[in-house]
Copies of this chain bind each other. A is one copy, B any other.
């Protein structure tokens, strides 16, 4: 059909990035609740409707490039070294993701998220969606297969590890401790 070539797409992407950048800047400067969509639109020099044609909601402006999270989780399962056990691979990936949240670049955003109920709620439900796709990735990639329930449960436990570690005093240690429990839970699903 339409070969993806050209100015139109570039302009669209530029508009999108301009909106997202402007929004994040304003949010961090003045606080998420203090900045309205109309403010974002004005500062980015676009119409309000344009904002919503690029982003489904105000919260989505904050989690702009969050497609990566789901990808990284599922790839940690599917792209791992042959015969590498599942849990350590997930352990490593969650640890990396948690560490990324503590970056100087990412930390202020997460502080903002934790401060806003709307943003927290949005994050929680996207986490659950991610857990679902992680569950299917796990189910698809299992040498001795497990129950669908076991896979779904593991997936939820894994995203729990992420969530728990993110607002723990010692995120690093928390990831390890939770994964120690996850490992045991997963062992218990071994078909005898």
Taking beta carbons and an 8 Å cutoff, which residues of A are in contact with B?
117, 120-122, 124-125, 128, 147, 149-150, 152-154, 156-157, 160-161, 163-164, 168, 173-174, 177-178, 180-189
Contacts of A125 in B (CB 8 A): 117, 120-121, 124
Contacts of A178 in B (CB 8 A): 149, 153
Choose from B147, B150, B160, B183 the contact partner of A153 (Cβ within 8 Å).
Answer: B160
Contacts of A177 in B (CB 8 A): 147, 149-150, 153
Rounded to whole Å, the gap between the CB of A48 and the closest CB of chain B is 21
Which among A122, A147, A188 has the highest number of chain B CB atoms within 10 Å? A188
Contacts of A149 in B (CB 8 A): 164, 168, 173-174, 177-178
Rounded to whole Å, the gap between the CB of A77 and the closest CB of chain B is 18
Whether the Cβ atoms of A181 and B164 lie closer than 8 Å is no
Choose from B117, B156, B183, B189 the contact partner of A188 (Cβ within 8 Å).
Answer: B183
Contacts of A153 in B (CB 8 A): 160-161, 164, 177-178, 181
- Closest-by-CB residue of B relative to A182 is B185
- Closest-by-CB residue of B relative to A128 is B124
Rounded to whole Å, the gap between the CB of A149 and the closest CB of chain B is 5
Rounded to whole Å, the gap between the CB of A33 and the closest CB of chain B is 16
Contacts of A160 in B (CB 8 A): 153, 156-157, 160
Rounded to whole Å, the gap between the CB of A93 and the closest CB of chain B is 18
Contacts of A147 in B (CB 8 A): 177
A178 to B128, CA, bound (A): 17
